[in-house]
Amino acid sequence: MPLVPAPDMLAAARADGYALGYFESWDSYSLEAVLAAAEAENAPVIVGFGATMLADEWLDAGGIEFLGASGRALLEGCRIPASFLLNETHTLEQAVRGVAAGFNFVMIDSHRWPVPEARDAVAKLVAAAHPVGVAVEAEFGSLPDYHDGAVDDSHAYMTDPGAAAEFVAATGVDCLAVAVGNVHLLTAYESEIDLERLQAIQAAVDVPLAIHGGTGFPPASVAAAISLGVAKFNVGTRLKRGFLDAVLDRTRSWSGNESVHDLVGSHKQADFLAAGQSAITETVRSLLRLYGSSGRA
């Protein structure tokens, strides 16, 4: 199935009262795991790769092009509606390269930039992307980060509804990620969501809303968030942690006698990495059901 434009997928989600999941991948195992989950659930899905955690040196030495080509190759046989996102690049230039590399949805990680600088870069990205049918997401408001057992909110600020509306009008983005209490990288507990602020943002902003920090987003607030304009949840940290835990658990069973070629990178049942892949698929299936997108393909 050909890639589906992200705005069409987001519009369908809003109209029918569910949300899409963007489940961040980092290699073929993780991307295949997400696609397997979406196909098992007959759910539309946003797949892709995140640039934030990747080294600029690798991205700028052909990494973006590698991710685009490998992802498109795996998506060729996809049987459910999918959009392909290059998420949170470090620079405008990287996002523009993502447009050329085959992604049909791109985003710059500009939420910590001064607002005028972020607005100008995002508007330039929209000008480069829209003429070739590529959608653009931006983030307005800055999420705190969870690490080392604590929340770092030194750079964080909640989304202001009026300022967000001005940002959307000035840039022409297709989707806006917002800060309403959600937290990046949060694995220890659930974040506290300001639904009144989310409602005010929905009233002011005329594009679909996205929630980053989906790992720590409280399941009990998902339905309310969807009713208040959220059409996309980003999940990454939970998937990578589950992958690592499953791989480590599988390695403990190694007797030392199996072929290393079967155990690493074979895509066979004995492959350590396949254990991580299975863990991702099960997690994504549960989240697709939580977001109401199961059976919507």
- Tell me, yes or no, whether 258 lies in a domain: no
- Tell me, yes or no, whether 206 lies in a domain: yes
- Tell me, yes or no, whether 268 lies in a domain: no
For residue range 14-65, what is the model confidence (pLDDT) as tens digits? 999 999 999 999 999 999 999 999 999 999 999 999 999 999 999 999 999 9
Q: Which of 35, 41, 207 is closest to 135 using CA atoms?
A: 207
The span from the first CA to the last CA of the chain, in angstroms, equals: 12
Q: Which token pair is 71?
A: 């992802």
- Tell me, yes or no, whether 21 lies in a domain: yes
- Whether the predicted pLDDT of 188 surpasses 90: no
Q: Are 80 and 1 in contact (CB under 8 A)?
A: yes
How far is residue 142's CA from residue 144's CA, in Å, rounded to a whole number? 7
DSSP 142: B
* CATH code at position 228: 3.20.20.70
How far is residue 19's CA from residue 12's CA, in Å, rounded to a whole number? 9
pTM: 0.96
Q: Which of 66, 62, 140 is closest to 103 using CA atoms?
A: 66
For residue range 74-131, what is the model confidence (pLDDT) as tens digits? 999 899 999 999 999 999 999 999 999 999 999 999 999 999 999 999 999 999 999 9
- For the segment 227-256, the average pLDDT, to the nearest whole number, is 95
Q: Are 41 and 78 in contact (CB under 8 A)?
A: no
Q: How many domains does the chain have?
A: 1
Confidence of residue 145 (pLDDT cuts 50, 70, 90): confident
Q: Which of 72, 129, 139 is closest to 97 using CA atoms?
A: 129
Q: Are 236 and 31 in contact (CB under 8 A)?
A: no
The confidence score (pLDDT) of residue 14 equals 98
How far is residue 30's CA from residue 66's CA, in Å, rounded to a whole number? 15
Distances in Å between the Cα of 170 and the Cα atoms of 6, 163, 173 are 20, 11, 9
Confidence of residue 266 (pLDDT cuts 50, 70, 90): very high
- Tell me, yes or no, whether 186 lies in a domain: yes
- Tell me, yes or no, whether 1 lies in a domain: no
The confidence score (pLDDT) of residue 224 equals 98
- Tell me, yes or no, whether 248 lies in a domain: no
Amino acid sitting at position 179 = A
- Tell me, yes or no, whether 270 lies in a domain: no
Q: Which domain holds residue 68?
A: 6-239
The confidence score (pLDDT) of residue 245 equals 97
- For the segment 185-191, the average pLDDT, to the nearest whole number, is 88
How far is residue 203's CA from residue 165's CA, in Å, rounded to a whole number? 9
